[in-house]
Amino acid sequence: MKISGERLESLYTTMVKIRRFDERTVELFNQGLVKGTAHSYVGEEAVAAGACAALREDDYIVGTHRGHGHCIAKGARVDRMMAELMGRQDGYCRGLGGSMHIAALDLNILGCNGIVAAGLPIGTGAALAARLTRSDRVVVAFFGDGASSQGVVHESLNLAAVWKLPIVFLCENNQYALSTSSKRTIAGESIAGRAVAYAIPGVRVDGNDVLAVYEAVETAVARARAGEGPTLVEALTYRWGGHSMRANLPDYRTKDEEREWMERDPIARLKPALETAGATLMRIKELEESVEVDLDRAVAFATASPEPTVEIMESSVYAPPVAVADEPADRSGPERTMAEALNEAMHAEMTRDEGVFVMGEDVSLIGGIFGVTRGLREKFGEDRVRDTPISEAGFLGAGIGAAIAGRRPIVEIQIWDFIAVTMDQVVNQAAKFRYMLGGQPTVPLVIRGPQGGGIRLAAQHSQSLEAWFAHVPGLVVVAPSTPYDAKGLLISAIRDDNPVIFLEHKALYATKGPVPAEPYAIPLGRADVKRAGRDVTVIATQAMVARALAAAADLEKEGVSVEVIDPRTLVPLDEAAILASVAKTHRLVIAHEAVKRCGFGAELAALVAEHALDELDAPIVRVGARSVPMPYNDALERATIPGQADIVAAIRRVL
């Protein structure tokens, strides 16, 4: 292929800048200015340089933990990158992300990633966002040979191929996953050869030949931009150094092997093409010297940058709450089931905001196994109501990527227990993305689905897992107990700029209650007093709310006045409402369906013990499930889940 002298100079300069940046990083690491660790890209420069040269400015990339080269090739400023490596406030992530998490959203660099292969679902989601907005933007998602063994690689390739998304999956096969040779861990003749299983092109290219990489990626990008779907490109290359600057591992490669690959130096291999195009040795030296000047300035900039403050750190976890109108003073309306109320919320928000879309298993054609998304496909079309493969980590990660790229996805987990296979995407990606990028991006994502027992689905379909997510900074956790609350809270969750875990109790889907016909939002973080009382406070969640109210009605006959509070939102928690109630009643019972040990009730008890201990006239009593997996037998299930009688007994204990 014919390439202009200007393009050749740009490729050469980019590769030299990548190499010298990482060589300087080693020096700074040895001086103690770069801490933690960093992963050198020396030897692999041709892959990032060639790939990013084939992209437009508005195209996206997703990098890896070895991502300095990806960022530099996409145009990132080396001074801000160096400041980030030093943990300084002027770094791309304000010192909160570090080497493995550098991102520059203004350049459409959607973050490098410390979790192997985790960026592929995110890149797939960015490609989905491009498809939904009918743009011709393309994504390049980098990953390594070691990452190719991860399940989310398959899930992302399959999802992108099924939906013909505009993404190029670029495997940088540097021969080793940390210390283990790819020859010992990867089946088949090549990683690119796997593409045939997805009916997409698979291309293997010399990753130390920048022109070969450029040509291969340019072809793949053109195909993606034309709407023809993804391509898998495998670039064979080699990292010259060890796994990381901190590793200090025994030798695991032979000197002969290292020497052989260094003789294929991608920078040296481009020089003849430069000279053929008319570049003199003096011009090449000028290009190299310009890089040194840039890096000297970058180091000076970084060392002069201040350290980030605790205030910056703490303000970076959550996006500011979105202002919503107060909830209706009049809660009357037609009777609706909780499933119908949730459906109304999604109808309203999808009508109001075309960026809202729904995806999950069986949500489109049949409207979900509990009917919550029924009718959405008919009104909004299959583009915005998407049935997915059974690949929760892949499509949930795609939801994260789409949210980062400007959409507002609602991702349904068909049965909440299945969330366990997505935990990296939820905990390490969605929850931490804003924080790791210095509090700058938003991740407006709702992850919703049915949890809880009571309908005989046994141990793997009946858990109540809210405590898992309440423990993770960066997540909002919502748990409605009535149709009215479900509609208003889901509308607020969809409008929020943070990832929201929206927990629906499957045994409550059929429960009915009045729901205002018009759309309304309930502010997140506001508890609801379901019943006022004087003698004891019961804080109950989800299915336990109705049982607590029934218990209160029974005890009223004995002259006992019970106040029932539903937090509705677990994170953020309405601490003021809880403490005010305890100050009034001086007694506290906490009821939830989850296993009592380490359940969310322990956090509520700790809150009151720390802030209102002197108000208590009796010990706090918690009511929760037995510490056993949910049994299938119906009598044993009833014995496991707390009932009205258990709450009554707990109230009697504190009186």
Active site residues: 461
Helix axes 5-30, 281-304, angle to 10 degrees: 40
Six-digit token string for 148: 């190719």
Among residues 454, 571, 455, the alpha carbon closest in space to that of 502 is found at 571
Among residues 610, 515, 625, 524, the alpha carbon closest in space to that of 568 is found at 524
Is the torsion defined by CA of 334, 477, 115, 77 positive or negative?
positive
For residue 62, the SS3 value is: strand
Among residues 245, 225, 194, the alpha carbon closest in space to that of 31 is found at 245
Six-digit token string for 334: 């037609």
Six-digit token string for 266: 């991608």
Q: Say how far apart CA 154 and CA 56 lie, in whole Å.
A: 27
Q: Say how far apart CA 229 and CA 399 lie, in whole Å.
A: 18
Name residues whose C-beta falls within 8 Å of residue 364's C-beta, 6 or more positions apart in sequence.
Answer: 358, 373, 376, 377, 382, 385, 386, 387
Written as one letter, the residue type at 319 is A
Six-digit token string for 384: 């915005």
Q: Say how far apart CA 72 and CA 17 lie, in whole Å.
A: 8
Name residues whose C-beta falls within 8 Å of residue 53's C-beta, 6 or more positions apart in sequence.
Answer: 7, 10, 11, 14, 73, 214
Question: How many other C-beta atoms lie within 10 A of the C-beta of residue 420?
Answer: 14
Residues in the chain: 655
Q: Say how far apart CA 522 and CA 60 lie, in whole Å.
A: 36
**CA–CA distance from 646 to each of 74, 590, 643 (Å)?**
61, 11, 5
Six-digit token string for 401: 């990527």
CA 234 to chain centroid: 26
Among residues 623, 528, 537, 516, the alpha carbon closest in space to that of 566 is found at 528
Question: How many other C-beta atoms lie within 10 A of the C-beta of residue 460?
Answer: 12
Q: Do residues 11 and 50 touch, judged by C-beta distance below 8 A?
A: yes
Q: Do residues 220 and 201 touch, judged by C-beta distance below 8 A?
A: yes
Q: Say how far apart CA 408 and CA 446 lie, in whole Å.
A: 8
> Environment class of residue 626 by beta-carbon count within 10 Å: exposed (0-12), middle (13-18) or buried (19+)?
middle
> Environment class of residue 471 by beta-carbon count within 10 Å: exposed (0-12), middle (13-18) or buried (19+)?
middle
- CB burial readout 189-204, b (16+ within 10 A) else e: ebbbebbeebebbbbb
Six-digit token string for 507: 């045994």
For residue 38, the SS3 value is: coil
